Structure 1
Amino acid sequence: MKVVCIGEMLIDMVCTDTNQGLVNGVNYLKKSGGAPANVAAAIGKLGGTAHLVAAVGNDPFGTFLVNEIAQYNVNTNYVSVLPMSTTLAFVSLADDGQREFAFNRGADEQLSLDAEALSFLSSDSILHIGSATALLGGPLNDTYLAITKAAHKNGNTICFDPNFRIGLWEGKEAEFIEACTPYFKMADIVKVSDEELELFTKTNDMEAGCQYFHDLGVKIVLVTLGGDGCLISQNGKSTRVPAYKIKAVDTTGAGDSFIGAVLYQLSQHPADNTFYANDMASFVAFAGKVSALVCSSLGAMSALPTLAEVEAITFEINQ
């Protein structure tokens, strides 16, 4: 089964001056990025079938991105090349791998699809919606909603990662929550960080927070907890899957590789009448291994492992 990822594909300009921030940093390294692109690349690198729906500019950055994502076995038939600049994200790193973002938006917000494309992309597929920029307005916002509605009507499995970015939504958190709510109502799986859970639900009680999403119709809630692993909430039960020990170098793309690995597993195992209730813990444990490897190297895409690389490593649980 194919996995369709829609949203931004952009250039991450990663500041290599650790702990300097974007104000004082001087040296930058060009990397492929964009949350949906990272997810698609993770799926493709593991051996799954991934389609990316995105827009880049008709410039050297856009050419670089299309060539780069294709090397991860991602279908790029629905990547548009538009007569404008490619979107850029500037990222700074701290010693613990935490990040600061600043965005220079370009082509990503102009993505649009016709009815024929919507029909193809919503047939026999899992839809992943996890764009950091899609809810800001413009044609991408309209396209994002249209493909989600088409997939929901068609009965596709829908996964939503809200991907809150303070650099895009600072002071507009209420607008962000309102914009996300229609997607929560259509999603089968929602992946949030513990900070995002509190943002949406106004509580740091994990079970109460997860229930907020279940009340909207979400079947599975995945709450990523950094070094404490991931909480799975489904059918009134919560399960915590531990993380693995790593030396964090760059956490950019960690969440994307995690959900990409979960979606890869879903695409290889059609849902039964329990909707993965017996399998999700093992899917999440596998995804934790993929994410650990990504955090151990610089670059959201370049650090992605193959299935063989994941299986060849012995991981130690983070106690």
Structure 2
Amino acid sequence: MKIVCVGEMLIDFVCTDTNKGLVNGVNYVKKSGGAPANVAACIGKLGGDAVLVGSVGNDPFGEFLINEVKGYGVNTDQVASLSSSTTLAFVSLGDNGEREFAFNRGADEQLSLDDSTINALLEDSILHLGSATALLGGELGDSYLRLAEQGKKNGNVICFDPNYRVDLWRGRDAEFREICNTYFALADMVKVSDEELVLLSQQDDMAAGCQYFHDLGVKVVLVTLGPEGCLISQNGQQYIVPAYEINAVDTTGAGDSFIGAILFQMANSQPGDKFFQDEFKGFIEFAGKVSGLVCAKIGAMTALPTLPEVNAMTFVIKKK
């Protein structure tokens, strides 16, 4: 089964001056990025069938992105090259791997899909909605919602990752919550960070926050807890799958590789009556290994491992 990832492709200019921030940083390295592109690349690198849907500029950066993603085995037939400039993001890193973003938005917001393309994309596919920019509106926002609504009608498995970015939504958190609620009502699975859980559910208690999403129709809620692992909430049960010991140097793309690894496994399994309930612990353990390897290197895509590389590594569960 193919996995359709929709949204931005962009260039990450990563500042190599650690702890300088974007204000004082001078040296930058060009990396391919964008959350949906990162997820698709992860799936492709693992050997899955990933289709990326998005738009870039008809410029050197756009050409670079398409070639780069193709190199990970991703189908880019639905990536449009437009007259606008390719979207850029500038990223600085601290010693602990945490990051600071600045966006220069371009062609990604102009993605437009017709009904026949939407229907073709949804045929025998899992739909992943993990764009950080699609919820801002524009033609991308319209196409994103139409894909989600048609996928719901068709019975596609739909995964939603809100991908909250404070710099994109500063002072507009209530609007972000309202838009996300539309997608929670359409999604089967949702991945949020612990901070996003509080922001979007308005609940400090994790169980109550998960129940907020379940009440909107979400079957499975995954809450990433950083070094503490990942909480799974499904069918009235909640438990934490612990993380592995890693030496984090760059968390850029960690969440994208995590969900990509889960989607890769879902596409090679059957949901059954309980929607993968018996498989999710194994899905999360595998995804933790993939994202752990990504965190140990610089770059969202260049750090992605192959399936044999994941299987060849020995991982140690992080002690509390």
Give the TM-score normalised by the residue count of structure 1.
0.99
Residue 283 of structure 1 is matched in structure 2 by 283
Unaligned runs of 5+ in 1: none
Residue 161 of structure 1 is matched in structure 2 by 161
Residue 49 of structure 2 is matched in structure 1 by 49
What's the secondary structure of 2:119's corresponding residue? helix
Residue 203 of structure 1 is matched in structure 2 by 203
Q: Distance in 1 between matches of 2:199 and 2:115?
A: 35
Q: Percent same amino acid at aligned positions?
A: 67
Residue 192 of structure 1 is matched in structure 2 by 192
What's the secondary structure of 1:174's corresponding residue? helix
Q: Distance in 2 between matches of 1:249 and 1:204?
A: 30
**Alpha-carbon distance, 1:47 to partner:** 0.5
What's the secondary structure of 1:77's corresponding residue? strand
Does the aligned pair in 2 maintain the 1:40–1:51 contact within 8 Å?
yes
1:312 partnered with 2:316: no
What's the secondary structure of 1:95's corresponding residue? coil
Q: Distance in 2 between matches of 1:29 and 1:171?
A: 31
Residue 78 of structure 1 is matched in structure 2 by 78
Q: Distance in 2 between matches of 1:318 and 1:61?
A: 39
What's the secondary structure of 1:186's corresponding residue? coil
Q: Which amino acid aligns with 1:253?
A: G
1:270 partnered with 2:274: no
Unaligned runs of 5+ in 2: none
What's the secondary structure of 2:139's corresponding residue? helix
Residue 293 of structure 1 is matched in structure 2 by 293
What's the secondary structure of 2:265's corresponding residue? helix
Q: Distance in 2 between matches of 1:110 and 1:38?
A: 19
Q: Distance in 2 between matches of 1:51 and 1:171?
A: 34
Q: Distance in 2 between matches of 1:128 and 1:204?
A: 27
Deviations 1:133-170 (A, max 9, x none): 00111100000001111111100000000000011011
**Alpha-carbon distance, 1:205 to partner:** 1.2
Q: Which amino acid aligns with 2:4?
A: V
Residue 250 of structure 1 is matched in structure 2 by 250
**Alpha-carbon distance, 1:203 to partner:** 2.1
Aligned-residue RMSD, C-alpha? 0.5
Deviations 1:192-241 (A, max 9, x none): 00000010112221111100000000000000000000000000000100
Q: Distance in 2 between matches of 1:295 and 1:258?
A: 11
Does the aligned pair in 2 maintain the 1:239–1:281 contact within 8 Å?
no
The worse-fitting range, judged by mean Cα deviation, of 19-28 and 254-263 is 19-28
Q: Distance in 2 between matches of 1:190 and 1:104?
A: 27
Q: Distance in 1 between matches of 2:162 and 2:143?
A: 16
What's the secondary structure of 2:101's corresponding residue? strand
How many residues align structurally? 319
Residue 122 of structure 1 is matched in structure 2 by 122
Does the aligned pair in 2 maintain the 1:191–1:222 contact within 8 Å?
yes
Q: Which amino acid aligns with 1:238?
A: Q
Does the aligned pair in 2 maintain the 1:135–1:141 contact within 8 Å?
yes
What's the secondary structure of 1:151's corresponding residue? helix
Q: Distance in 2 between matches of 1:194 and 1:204?
A: 10
Residue 23 of structure 2 is matched in structure 1 by 23
1:63 partnered with 2:63: yes
Q: Which amino acid aligns with 2:208?
A: A
Q: Distance in 1 between matches of 2:201 and 2:181?
A: 11
**Alpha-carbon distance, 1:125 to partner:** 0.3
Q: Distance in 2 between matches of 1:178 and 1:220?
A: 20
**Alpha-carbon distance, 1:271 to partner:** 1.2
Q: Which amino acid aligns with 1:2?
A: K
Q: Distance in 2 between matches of 1:205 and 1:137?
A: 31
What's the secondary structure of 1:55's corresponding residue? strand
Deviations 1:17-70 (A, max 9, x none): 111111111111100000000000000000100000010000000000000000
Q: Distance in 2 between matches of 1:277 and 1:271?
A: 8
Give the TM-score normalised by the residue count of structure 2.
0.99
Moved over 3 A (4+): none
**Alpha-carbon distance, 1:273 to partner:** 1.0
